[in-house]
Amino acid sequence: MRTLLVRGWALHLIALASALLFAPTIAAASVPSDTLRARPPAPTAIDVALVTAVIPGYLSARGLPPITGSLIITDTGLVFRTSAGAVLGSYPLVGPVRRRGSRDHRATTVALAYVANEGKHSSYLFRLDGGVFETASPGPLQELAQHPAWLDRVRSEEWSTDRPLVDPADTDAAVQLAAAISSGAYADSLYTLFGRPARCAGLVGKGGRDRGRLGEYIASRDSLALDPGRITSEAQLRHAFTHELAHRWQRRSVPELRALWAGVEPVHDSRRYGYASVGEQQAEAVAFAIHFLQTTGAGIGSVAAGLELLDHYELLMPGTRVLTRYFALQPIYRDHPLRIALASRAASLQ
């Protein structure tokens, strides 16, 4: 027994001596040193809060309508996961180094664009690389948008680039894709609402490409033009096609659209397509409305959830709500699960 006690005390003294011996080393490691070294800095309380954050909200990627999910902050970047569990996008914490005048500049991935409906029900809209994230509970995301000091020690990453649906130099593939989108079931459903153009969809010309247009409506030919060589997803292709058909509908429904548009607010985000242009805002709102009706056509769980989702569409693109209610009354949507609720809301506003 005495031998065991002696050994126990010996082990205790060895552990105590080790702690005292290495204490200065641990303390020194916690002091900020040369940030150019590869050794990662010791995490701070704010680092831990950010890295463990899961922020519910809605992501509008590449100007498209919002998708429900959560933005997850990791030690390497941001990840958006849809409510169904799919990873929709990932973003670095800090963008690439760029030269601005005589100084190097690193862009922060997250920036607060604006706060809507200030008061009890505020919504915070953050700009990400190629997207907008909207949430009512920003949490540490708001801190990240202010570019905390520790962010300067994070490695820069290049912005992600999306591959186009077809090679921009492959004209034949682009023509085939434009023909496919304009002759499928999705197009037929839109023709029921907006009418069918006289000609099949073609390709955007050089002038339109130079202006950065993904699509055009050519009134003199009554035809659409698309640029599949710069369109990066099926969702974006459908959105562009719907947007240009909406321009056709605008020309043929001027009095009707003027009545529907009364009281609609302008787009608040200066970087969103449709800002400071009523015509483009109307076409975008049409595309948002059609997307909402298509997305919720198979059901969304409850009427309340569907109407709440529509509010988030409206926040990003004002005019979506009134056009959604209008289109829901058309025969093609007679079996839509939200038709009655949307119609009753529309009637209550008249």
Topology of domain 45-153, CATH: PH-domain like (2.30.29)
Q: Where in the chain is the domain with CATH 2.30.29?
A: 45-153
Residue 54 has pLDDT above 80, yes or no: yes
And the tokens for 224? 């659409």
Average pLDDT over residues 284-289: 99
Taking the CA atoms of residue 350, residue 58, residue 293 and residue 299 in that order, the dihedral angle to the nearest 10 degrees is -110
The model's pLDDT over 172-182, given as tens digits with 9 standing for 90+, comes to 999 999 999 99
And the tokens for 52? 């463990």
- Residue 148 backbone zone (phi > 0: left; psi -120 to 50: alpha; other: beta): beta
Q: Are 134 and 55 in contact (CB under 8 A)?
A: no
Q: Are 73 and 50 in contact (CB under 8 A)?
A: yes
Query: Which of 40-54, 170-184, 299-313 has the weakest average pLDDT?
Result: 40-54
d(CA 284, CA 273) in angstroms, rounded, equals 8
Q: Are 256 and 297 in contact (CB under 8 A)?
A: no
Q: How many degrees, rounded to 5, is the angle at CA 240 between CA 237 and CA 244?
A: 140
Q: Where does 183-233 have alpha helices with state H?
A: 185-194, 206-210
Pairing verdict, β 67-73 and 202-203: unpaired
Sort 214 into a burial class: Cβ within 10 Å, 0-12 / 13-18 / 19+. buried
Global confidence as pTM: 0.82
**For the chain, first and last CA: distance in Å?**
93
Average pLDDT over residues 14-38: 38
Q: Are 73 and 133 in contact (CB under 8 A)?
A: no
Cβ contacts of 283 within 8 Å, gap of 6 or more: 243, 244, 246, 247, 250, 274
DSSP letter string, 30-46: TS---TTSSSPPPP-HH
d(CA 197, CA 42) in angstroms, rounded, equals 62
Confidence of residue 105 (pLDDT cuts 50, 70, 90): low
In Å, how far from its chain's centre is CA 111? 13
Confidence of residue 36 (pLDDT cuts 50, 70, 90): very low
Q: Where are the beta strands (DSSP E) in the chain?
A: 54-61, 67-73, 77-82, 87-92, 94-100, 103-108, 111-116, 123-128, 131-135, 202-203, 215-218, 223-226
Q: Are 104 and 91 in contact (CB under 8 A)?
A: no
The model's pLDDT over 127-161, given as tens digits with 9 standing for 90+, comes to 998 899 999 999 989 988 988 877 777 777 766 77
State whether residue 101 is helix, strand or coil: coil
